[in-house]
Amino acid sequence: MSFRGYPDYKSSGFDWMGEIPFAWFILPLKRAFEIIGGSTPSADEINWGGPIQWATPADLSKLSSPYIQSTRRTLSHLGRASCGCSLLPTRSIILSTRAPIGSLAINTEPMSTNQGCKGLVPYRDISSVFFAYVLSISTELLNNLGKGTTFLEISGDELGRFPAAFPTFPEQTQIARFLDHETAKIDTLIHEQKRLIELLKEKRQAVISHAVTKGLDPDVPMKDSGVEWLGEVPAHWACMSFRYATRILRGKFGHRPRNDPALYDGAYPFIQTGDVARAEKYISEFKQTLNEKGAAVSASFPSGTLVMAIAANIGDTAILGFEAYAPDSVVGFQPRQDITLEFLKYSLDSSIQELEKTSTQSTQANLNIDRVGGVKGVFPPEDEQTKIVSFLDKMCEQFSILEKQATKSIALMVERRSALISAAVTGKIDVRDWQPPADESAFDEKVRQAGMEAEA
């Protein structure tokens, strides 16, 4: 797709914006919007559960569309009056102005916000959709304007001074119409790639589970394992709880607060749940280290230990290639002599759903050693373990390649989407005469093909 530019340009005065069409103006957002802050009533039950939608940054960050219709919590009329928060009319822009700064949506129902958001109520002849696109590509700039020590926040005054390029209202409307159409197509393709990634993860899990519970020989005699989720297993395999198949090591971090800087930046690698999640099969890098004081309140795992996250992203596993320390959100496994480390990893990976069933739920899912140790697995003779590991290594590598390709495609499409929005809202392309194609069959075929690849 290519578009011509406008006939004449002038400097915007801002490096990040570049030149703009000669007839456009640079004005602060306060010339287009009334900027309204939010508030939070007291926790009294009478203030909550009423008919008024109440948006927070968390509501905005979880949206899959540019519009917000409902929120997780609602206010009563008394609650809204008690804290003095305004009721934003429909078609306002609701912007998260407290970390994370930049999430936004246009409300389709009247609603209020908490103090982590600002409402931008448009004046006459202002397109909310156009300026929502402007703000959507300005996240980094807005964050640079944020101030604060505990968390970044951008004030209403600072937001009001934020500059934007102003075309005429008919142009605003046309550009918004063009971007709605084109970004919807890109978003559809992004959705298909994300769906493909999820299907690949499901297939990977199914392949692992079948291999470590049924084996590779479809003709082998089977027996009832006595465990519902395992079902029938090869008759010559041993069924046992993980507490008998492996020695389980406890992570530890006995100091509070955990983020005390006096404990860190030393010579000892410190593995946390995020390090386990980022690894594929082996952990080769880490983000934090402990000093002598930190190591004294933690627990070390030797090189070759299989580690698992038992909080937050529970069930993620990886093998340590070096000695490291770990907190109590990570446990370690050292299998007995007739069980290989790699087979144990795949066996634990296959039991993730069973482990999740045993987890406790508070603010996040959690496991403990007793729950992990109580889950059962099945273990073939060592030579079969080696063959199964070899098979799964090859299969998982294929899945990994496909996932990386899909992830790369998503990144490229997100970049293209952002570039298209930027070009349109700063006038680098002229879409005044644009009309949606009468025939979208070429795009529909792309989406159909992406869907077929996802199902394959």
User: What is the structure's pLDDT at 1?
Assistant: 62
CB atoms within 10 A of CB 282: 11
Q: Which amino acid is at 284?
A: S
257 upstream amide cis, omega within 30 of 0: yes
pLDDT at 452: 44
For the chain, which domains are there?
25-166 (3.90.220.20), 238-379 (3.90.220.20)
What is d(CA 105, CA 66) in angstroms, rounded to the nearest whole number? 5
Could you tell me the pTM of the whole model? 0.82
What is the reported pLDDT for 441?
57
List the beta bridge partners of residue 120: 35, 93
Model pLDDT, residue 425: 97
Please report which helix (H) or strand (E) contains residue 143, including its range.
helix 139-145
The whole-angstrom separation of Cα 204 and Cα 198 is 10
Contact criterion met (CB below 8 Å) for 192 and 454: yes
Q: What is the rounded distance in angstroms from the CA atom of residue 253 to the CA atom of residue 266?
A: 16
Q: Residue 356: its pLDDT value, please?
A: 75
pLDDT on residue 445: 53
Rounded Cα distance between 421 and 139, Å, is 13
Instruction: Look at residue 450 in the predicted model and tell me its pLDDT.
Output: 45
**Which regions in the chain score pLDDT beneath 50?**
362-365, 447-448, 450-456
The predicted structure's pLDDT at residue 362: 45
Which residues, including other chains, have CB under 8 Å from residue 198's CB and lie 6 or more apart?
none
- Provide the pLDDT for residue 440: 65
Q: Is 9 helix (H, G, I), strand (E, B) or coil?
A: strand
Contact 194, 454 (CB under 8 A): no
Give the model confidence (pLDDT) of 306-346 as tens digits: 999 988 778 899 999 999 999 999 999 999 999 999 999 99
pLDDT of 447 reads: 46
